[in-house]
Chains A and B, each alone.
Chain A
Amino acid sequence: MASTIRVRASSNGDITEVQALIQHPMDSGFVKNAKGEIIPPHFIQQLTFEHDGKNVFTADWGGGVSKDPYVKFAFKGGKKGDELKISWVDNKGATDTTTAKIQ
């Protein structure tokens, strides 16, 4: 299966800017379907970014983050060609991990 995580990381030599887009329903547990039944909560709880074995960013998310979530941040260091490891885990225990090369 294709990865749920799409990442673009680019370095200007000093700072690496990271944008991530993840496919996930992010159901909050407050929305009803067409039959009037509550759609149970199903959302990513934690998303982590690692560079060179070190955590550079962690997102703790609730059901209030939009479907197919997007996040953007930047960190110092990181060279072109370096790997960035991205992982998420949701409230049902599902996970996905990918690595992206810094451009």
Chain B
Amino acid sequence: MNTMENDFSATRRLILKGAGALTLIGLGIVPLDVTKALAAANDKYPEEAFKQKSDADVIKTLYGKTAEPSEKVKMDAPEIAENGAVVPVSVTTTLADVTSIAFLVSENPNVLIAKYNIPAGTLPSVANRIKMAKTSNVTVLVEAGGKLYSAAKEVKVTVGGCGG
């Protein structure tokens, strides 16, 4: 991780923290160790992972380990999506110590759709709406207790959600 990345991430976090902090950064009077601490204290946006073109590359970039299919990961997605622009997908799991949940669509131009960070005390259950360019496997990754688990389901798309 280089300094540029740290600064970028920290700056973005500061934007979330408020305009006052942003002004401080703009004036360059926030010391580097403060921005570093902020970057470390918060989850960095996984820029590279969102550019990957295959499930395997996303998993490698995001987690650096392999995923093991698990029946404890329950995904709810439609069999057929009439509108690929809005496909409701949700996941819930009985796995303990979940730290993150990610959604992947294999056939989309960029495979990674979303990654949710789950702090202690937040339930391992997320619902969202995703775009699908065409019929594809939808994969959910659940990081729990330092291991990676997955569930996948094919969703048939009759009208794609990525134009063209």
Contact = CB atoms under 8 A, between A and B. Distances in A.
Interface string A87-98: 101000101010
Contact of B129 (A28, A55, A69): A69
Interface in A15-32: 15, 26, 28, 30-32
A66 B126 CA distance: 15
Contacts, number: 121
Contact of B128 (A30, A71, A89): A71
B53 to A, nearest CB: 12
Contacts of A70: 127-129
Given A56-B121, A76-B121, A64 B110 contact: yes
* Interface size band for B: 35 or more
A65 B131 contact: yes
Interface in A39-90: 45-46, 48, 54-67, 69-77, 87, 89
A62 B114 contact: yes
* Interface size band for A: 35 or more
A93 B163 contact: no
Given A67-B85, A74-B122, A93 B129 contact: no
A32 B90 CA distance: 29
A51 B64 CA distance: 31
Contacts of B133: 30
Interface stretch (B23-31, B42-50, B66-74, B149-157): B42-50
